[in-house]
Structure 1
Amino acid sequence: MITSPLASETSSFPTDEESRKFERIRTKIHENSDEASFYVANEIADLIRQRQKSGKKVVLGLATGSTPTKVYEYLVKFHKEEGLSFKNVITFNLDEYFPMQPDSIHSYVRFMEEHLFDHIDIRKENIHIPDGSLEKEDVRDYCQAYEQKILKAGGIDIQVLGIGRTGHIGFNEPGSSLVSKTRLVRLDRVTKLDAASDFFGLENVPARAITMGVGTILSAKRIILMAWGEGKSEVIKKAVEGPIKESVPATFLQHHQNCDFIVDEAAASALTRVSTPWLVSECQWNDTLIKKAAIWLSGKLDKAILKLTNEDYNEYGMGNLIAEIGSAEHINLIVFNQLQRTITGWPGGKPNADDSKRPERKDPYPKTSLIFSPHPDDDVISMGGTLLRLVDQGHEVHVAYQTSGNIAVFDDEVIRFLDFARDLQKDDKVLQKQVLEVRDFLDKKTPGQVDSPLIQQLKGLIRKGEALAACRYCGVAEENAHFQNLPFYETGTVKKKPYSEADIQQTYDLLQKIKPHQIFAAGDLSDPHGTHRVCLNIIYRALDRLVKEKASWIKDCYVWLYRGAWQEWDIADMEMTIPIGPADMQRKKNAIFKHQSQKDSAMFPGNDQREFWQRAEQRNKETAKKYNALGMAEYEAMEGFVRYHFM
């Protein structure tokens, strides 16, 4: 069961005391990034207030990127609503791209101004950010001077860090020295790939950066490293539990006596105390943990579930489970039945059948199904096989495309469509003029420059047309395709606005209009740009309102969360799996192919360079292989879902 990321319950994971035999850095797990960011912002604010009382300054080392933005948002809130002053604060930023002009939309100067400095009362002379506009021959002296300024200020009191997929801190890439100081560095290819979407293409990402060194970071009196999301889970495990080595620079933080890792549950998911708590201490066993443990043991030993023995469980720290349940055979049968019951070829419920052990109800039939798709292609990429099955089985399927997806369209696609329209309507002088204006704008456009409103509209229409083509192919009525174009997304840049009441109200109105029996929504929270996470939160808020208002239909509605574009659910979490045969797998790919602007090369591929249809096919087939390895029937592919219980 997945709980809302907006909740604030206490984590159920083992404490640090219980997990010291694996963790080499103090690690505090929060339920979600919002809660964790509030925790960090409060620590910073408390130190600022303490120093103000004694007339002393505070020196902060600050990071950029998506990780600390919520911390800065809370600090701004503390300033505006609680009167927190920053007049006694001196800041030193970790890094800056090189070369980089301070007024560039990509510069960290602009980032810090937009997220923090323009909204608080910090003195301009107390702000220090590496200068990316220097001549190369001046960089060495500048870096030495930067180090001296830190020393003159009394050293950094709290250093805030994020972490890259390579384990880099600041821009200290694999191979960085433990004693390195502020310097010019060359960026790792993985780091450049992760930044490519912000620069609208890998070719636009600077090859170098100025960064504080590992030695500079370690000289801070207090270090707080933050990480959010499943995408950071593996590198967090390496940094927290792995040996110290130059290939993972974050492991150097194990040397520091006052360093904490502050992570959300998703980023902590690979830590031993979370992924395999039975290896840390004796567990309080429940059905969910038993299922997780048996599946893990099956994979560890490459044995089907029903072949696991008492000795297998005892050898891997689960002797107390055997003692509680009685035998491996009994445990195996429980888990085998749990897994088997998740498999259904009827995602809308099978009519006239015993549904007591099926994930979906048989009644009513047919159902009204509403699929929320954050981008115009997430529906077919992530659950295209299930969508086709729902249509084939006679359910009324609606698709709500939450955002226009306009920033993911290449400029050349706009020119291609306009040239077609121009040749078709040669006598339309207004159109001819618009074509010239658009081509002139695009000819002069610089990387990352915001498109004009007309071009944003055209790109949105391109994606709308592709989504409608996919709906027609899948058998979804065109009038059942709802293009929400939620306001939070419409900035023309990768950076989006916070979602607002307008986004929630629009979603609420659609739900009230359709009154679905089942909702499918994207739980793919590793989306590197955060759109999936925002879209899901908007749905949760709308559902919360409907529950409070006691809407008549909401109590009979099931909500299923899908994944697939960026990650897949763990087998232990899946509560409904839909088998996909070879023919339906090809139909699913054909539906994805309708999104021609995303074909061959997507604008924002993230850290996976494959096309989306390739990712989807591989993940669906991998899920089927895992089920087969556990002793289930062998299928071509499978799509997995987790139920969200909102009542």
Structure 2
Amino acid sequence: MEKTSIESPIEIFEHSLEASKKIASRIAQLIIAKKEVGQMAVLGLATGSSPIEVYNELVRMHREEALSFQNVITFNLDEYFPMAPDREQSYHRFMNEYLFDHVDILPENIHIPDGTLTSVESVNKYCQAYEEKIDEVGGIDLQILGIGRTGHIGFNEPGSTLESITRLVTLDNKTRVDATKDFFGKHNVPKNAVTMGISTILKSKQVVLMAWGEGKAEIVERAINGHMSAQVPATFLQNHMNVTYYFDMPAASELAQVKTPWLLDSITWDALMVRKAVVWLCEILGKPILTLTNEDYNENGLSELLTKRDSAYKINIEVFNQLQHTITGWPGGKPNADDSQRPERNTPFPKRTLIFSPHPDDDVISMGGTLLRLVEQGHEVHVAYQVSGNIAVFDEYAYNYLDFMCDYNQMIDVKNEKLIALRDEVRDYMQSDQSGNKAPDALRELKGQLRKNEAKAACRYCGVDEKNLHFMNLPFYETGEVKKKPLGEEDIQLTMDLLQEQQPHQVFLAGDLSDPHGTHRVCLEAIFEAMRRLKNEAWTDNCKVWMYRGAWQEWDIADIEMAVPISPEELMKKRQAIFRHQSQKDGVAFPGSDAREFWQRAEDRNRHTARQYDKLGMAQYEAMEAFVEWDFKNE
């Protein structure tokens, strides 16, 4: 199908919270406007991680600004099938926990697809009735949508047609893989769902589609700029007369207005934008920086830059030197050396370095080579593990460990009744239909201890003193469920306490927001808020904060401010450190969209970064780990 000429507004925000508040405000305005004329506001609602902040803001507006939902009728997009409404993964439960239980909406005005029907015939009748209910109330005034990695809206998977209505569907394999984070493994994810159809969605008077994070960038670009096709159902929204797209910067990063704004309009050419443009030009032409010519700039949309800087030669030298100066084998600074062109200071030496690791393996996965280098060069390295990571351990792995301990005790003629009871409790839980829901507390504690010991083993291998390990166990994570609590004051205070205690000269933290269950995002915000509150402390004047990225994403080459080369031997040592995390080896509970193991992802990413520097004309290395500085003093 040919793309139409309908232009839909795209709003891009620095952070998803800011965008979510804008969407919530739009919903509130609709509710209030309808109430003033004595009408019902009919909302189409979505689930998943994308609308959570929208619902949080609506709840706040109800509590603090008296926003009433008594004139609101809702229709949810979808529900897994089969699915009991009280199950942890049910969208009935999701909507109650995030919105309905906290506002004054009338229960009879809530409509969510039924996942408990027992026959195809009953499902078909139910879906027809769902369509009729929407028509009876005059249609949906405002439909809220997220977007899946396959381009699905609702559960309209690739192949869904423009004419599709509410129906039972089979879930795409990618969708089921992405849902493993909620179901403790793909084998627990239902194969079917009930969903509104494309036709149903497009009949809505207004549509809002939101997307957050780097993981959505590629599909967002296809949804906005690709030809309308059943293979990417979200493209059908291009033909809607009133659709607005809300993205955060990472989700919008592949759109031309973010990735190559110079091709659309005149821009301000600061140092970062020049670097981005030159790196882009090298990539599309396959040329090193110092070989770019005036013609290359003029013929590829960069004549404005060329005019401002006089010649390709001047631009090339400027950007080449900037990138070359990011490369350092001394991530803690080189003592007694000129540091004017280095990313890190030469004093103090040695430095006290604090590495924040969201999960117990992010440190070695994301910056294992740099960690090894810091230890080798004599710095005082501390590692702070922010959460226990207990939900990422398979039940069977923990059970096998328990079974081994029971057998070993029997072999040495020691009987531990509590251990045997725990083993039996775990076995019964695994065999029950509750497997995949909240695990027994003792099992979670065992899993957390397993991950703690693996982290200690990895750090011993890397040479980090055990007394320098800090297991924070931030409270937001310790719910026993995939769903976590929001960032709380206790999480921030624990982070501040550790920073105040250590007063580090360097802080490394995870700036990767693409992890499939959002823990990195909360851990990052805990550190951000802690550093904001502490930035007037004297020790922070001599502290630099570096952000690394994890197993899912890497910094764009133009954004990198410190690149640490890794030799083949160091890369092998990094791999061995990752291997110490045995519960995460040979398959993990939350793999995201990448089937490779974490050590494979890390090595491929590090080698790719080195190849990019090489292609730009820099020295050739085996691999590189990359960092971006967070200027917390001047944010």
TM-score by length of 2: 0.97
Map of 1:18 onto structure 2: none
3-state SS, counterpart of residue 33 of structure 2: helix
Matching residue within 477, 496, 499 for 2:484: 496
8 Å contact kept, 1:63–1:161: yes
Extract unaligned runs of 5+ from structure 2.
none
User: Residues 400-432 of structure 1: CA distance to partner in whole angstroms, max 9, x if unpaired?
Assistant: 000000000111222222233324442333433
Map of 2:600 onto structure 1: 614
Instruction: Quote how far apart the aligned CAs of 1:564 are.
Output: 2.9
Query: Which shifted more, 434-443 or 412-421?
Result: 434-443
Matching residue within 523, 533, 537 for 1:545: 533
Give the whole-Å Cα distance in 1 for the aligned partners of 2:262 and 2:425. Answer: 65
8 Å contact kept, 2:8–2:242: no
| CA shift in 2, pair 1:300/1:84, >3 Å | same
8 Å contact kept, 1:24–1:240: no
Matched, 1:280 2:268: no
Amino acid at match of 2:371: L
User: Residues 88-120 of structure 1: CA distance to partner in whole angstroms, max 9, x if unpaired?
Assistant: 100001111111111211111111111111111
User: Residues 220-249 of structure 1: CA distance to partner in whole angstroms, max 9, x if unpaired?
Assistant: 000000000011111111111222111111
| 1:362-381 to 2 correspondences below 5 Å | 362-381=346-365
3-state SS, counterpart of residue 618 of structure 2: coil
Matching residue within 421, 425, 438 for 1:450: 438
Query: Which shifted more, 345-354 or 277-286?
Result: 277-286
Query: Which shifted more, 373-382 or 525-534?
Result: 525-534
Instruction: Quote how far apart the aligned CAs of 1:25 are.
Output: 2.8
Map of 1:77 onto structure 2: 60
Map of 1:131 onto structure 2: 114
8 Å contact kept, 1:399–1:480: yes
Map of 1:315 onto structure 2: 299
Map of 2:72 onto structure 1: 89
Map of 1:59 onto structure 2: 42
8 Å contact kept, 1:24–1:241: no
| CA shift in 2, pair 1:221/1:430, >3 Å | closer
Map of 2:385 onto structure 1: 401
Amino acid at match of 1:530: G
Give the whole-Å Cα distance in 2 for the aligned partners of 1:54 and 1:273. Answer: 40
Matched, 1:199 2:187: no
Instruction: Quote how far apart the aligned CAs of 1:437 are.
Output: 3.3
Amino acid at match of 2:91: Y
Map of 1:11 onto structure 2: none
Matched, 1:469 2:462: no
Map of 2:402 onto structure 1: 418
Matched, 1:566 2:557: no
Instruction: Quote how far apart the aligned CAs of 1:398 are.
Output: 0.2
3-state SS, counterpart of residue 342 of structure 1: coil
3-state SS, counterpart of residue 223 of structure 1: strand
Matched, 1:519 2:519: no
Instruction: Quote how far apart the aligned CAs of 1:565 are.
Output: 1.2
Instruction: Quote how far apart the aligned CAs of 1:183 are.
Output: 1.0
Instruction: Quote how far apart the aligned CAs of 1:552 are.
Output: 1.6
Give the whole-Å Cα distance in 2 for the aligned partners of 1:349 and 1:488. Answer: 35
Give the whole-Å Cα distance in 2 for the aligned partners of 1:366 and 1:22. Answer: 61
Give the whole-Å Cα distance in 1 for the aligned partners of 2:23 and 2:101. Answer: 20
Map of 2:9 onto structure 1: 26
Matched, 1:486 2:469: no
| 1:9-20 to 2 correspondences below 5 Å | none
Give the whole-Å Cα distance in 2 for the aligned partners of 1:636 and 1:552. Answer: 40
Instruction: Quote how far apart the aligned CAs of 1:342 are.
Output: 0.2
Give the whole-Å Cα distance in 1 for the aligned partners of 2:424 and 2:621. Answer: 53
Map of 1:6 onto structure 2: none
| CA shift in 2, pair 1:598/1:59, >3 Å | same
Matched, 1:355 2:339: yes
Amino acid at match of 2:417: K
8 Å contact kept, 1:448–1:493: no
| CA shift in 2, pair 1:215/1:553, >3 Å | same
Give the whole-Å Cα distance in 2 for the aligned partners of 1:241 and 1:250. Answer: 11
8 Å contact kept, 1:23–1:241: no
Give the paired residue count. 626
Give the whole-Å Cα distance in 1 for the aligned partners of 2:223 and 2:427. Answer: 49
Matching residue within 304, 308, 323 for 2:288: 304
User: Residues 269-319 of structure 1: CA distance to partner in whole angstroms, max 9, x if unpaired?
Assistant: 110011001111122211110000000000100000000011111111110
| 1:23-172 to 2 correspondences below 5 Å | 24-135=7-118, 136-172=120-156
Q: Percent identity?
A: 61
3-state SS, counterpart of residue 382 of structure 2: strand
8 Å contact kept, 1:239–1:248: yes
TM-score by length of 1: 0.95
Give the whole-Å Cα distance in 2 for the aligned partners of 1:415 and 1:249. Answer: 42
Give the whole-Å Cα distance in 1 for the aligned partners of 2:308 and 2:422. Answer: 74
Map of 1:13 onto structure 2: none
| CA shift in 2, pair 1:180/1:313, >3 Å | same
Give the whole-Å Cα distance in 2 for the aligned partners of 1:427 and 1:228. Answer: 52
Map of 1:594 onto structure 2: 580
Amino acid at match of 1:107: S
Amino acid at match of 1:220: S
Instruction: Quote how far apart the aligned CAs of 1:449 are.
Output: 1.5
3-state SS, counterpart of residue 519 of structure 1: strand
Instruction: Quote how far apart the aligned CAs of 1:144 are.
Output: 1.1
Give the whole-Å Cα distance in 1 for the aligned partners of 2:408 and 2:185. Answer: 32
Instruction: Quote how far apart the aligned CAs of 1:555 are.
Output: 1.0
Matching residue within 499, 505, 521 for 1:533: 521
Map of 1:436 onto structure 2: 424
Amino acid at match of 1:47: L
Query: Which shifted more, 128-137 or 380-389?
Result: 128-137
| CA shift in 2, pair 1:438/1:186, >3 Å | closer
Give the whole-Å Cα distance in 1 for the aligned partners of 2:78 and 2:427. Answer: 37
Instruction: Quote how far apart the aligned CAs of 1:22 are.
Output: 11
Instruction: Quote how far apart the aligned CAs of 1:24 are.
Output: 4.4
Amino acid at match of 1:231: G
Give the whole-Å Cα distance in 1 for the aligned partners of 2:543 and 2:25. Answer: 39
3-state SS, counterpart of residue 346 of structure 1: coil
| CA shift in 2, pair 1:491/1:22, >3 Å | farther
User: Residues 327-350 of structure 1: CA distance to partner in whole angstroms, max 9, x if unpaired?
Assistant: 001100000000000000000000
User: Residues 559-611 of structure 1: CA distance to partner in whole angstroms, max 9, x if unpaired?
Assistant: 00001311000000000000000000000000000000000101110100110
Amino acid at match of 1:447: S
3-state SS, counterpart of residue 569 of structure 1: coil
Map of 1:330 onto structure 2: 314
Instruction: Quote how far apart the aligned CAs of 1:445 are.
Output: 5.7
8 Å contact kept, 1:564–1:619: no
3-state SS, counterpart of residue 268 of structure 2: coil
Map of 2:615 onto structure 1: 629
